[in-house]
Amino acid sequence: MNQQRRDMLRVSTVLGLAVATGLMTPKDARAAAEGWNSAAFDTKSLNDTIKALGGTTAATSKDLVITAPDIAENGAVVPVSVTTKLADVQQIAILVEKNPNALSANFTIPPGTDAYVSTRVKMAQTSNIHALVKVDGKWLVASKEIKVTLGGCGG
């Protein structure tokens, strides 16, 4: 077993015991394990999110690929994946522009790992999805519009 896996098992065990004994809530334990950045998840725009994540600006990049439906019949579960062939990816974040809180997901990419994430996001309405990717300390962004229909009627 490698050292990172052992460390994760130790942290998970300690946090699990803290939750079981009532010293911590499950939400606190998860936030501690993930290095939760609550300021980033409270942002309302792309630029605010970039700043909360420690950047200043993001350059548009064609090297980022967002895979998501053009039309989502159910805004409660919209599948989104982000991938890139760029080397040294450190972080991938997914934002939904018109949601009350823009940042929907934030992933730390370990060194030597393929830069690919997939999740489901909730969308309040038709909106742009932004993929923010941190490569060598610089932020890149790609966007895609997803139309959300009500009741799956396609319009």
pLDDT for 103-142, tens place per residue? 998 998 998 889 999 999 999 899 999 999 999 989 999 9
pLDDT, residue 78, reads 94
Question: Where does residue 154 rank: exposed (0-12), middle (13-18), buried (19+ CB within 10 A)?
Answer: exposed
pLDDT, residue 19, reads 65
pLDDT, residue 34, reads 58
Q: How many CB atoms lie within 10 A of CB 85?
A: 11
Which among 153, 148, 141 is positioned nearest to 61, based on CA atoms?
A: 141
pLDDT, residue 48, reads 84
The four Cα atoms 76, 107, 87, 97 give a dihedral, to 10 degrees, of: 50
pLDDT, residue 30, reads 57
pLDDT, residue 44, reads 81
How many Å separate Cα 86 from the centre of its chain? 18
pLDDT, residue 86, reads 94
Q: Is the whole model's pTM more than 0.85, yes or no?
A: no
CA angle 73–79–84, rounded 5-degree value: 140
Q: Which residues of the chain carry a pLDDT beneath 70? A: 1, 15, 17-19, 22-38, 150-155
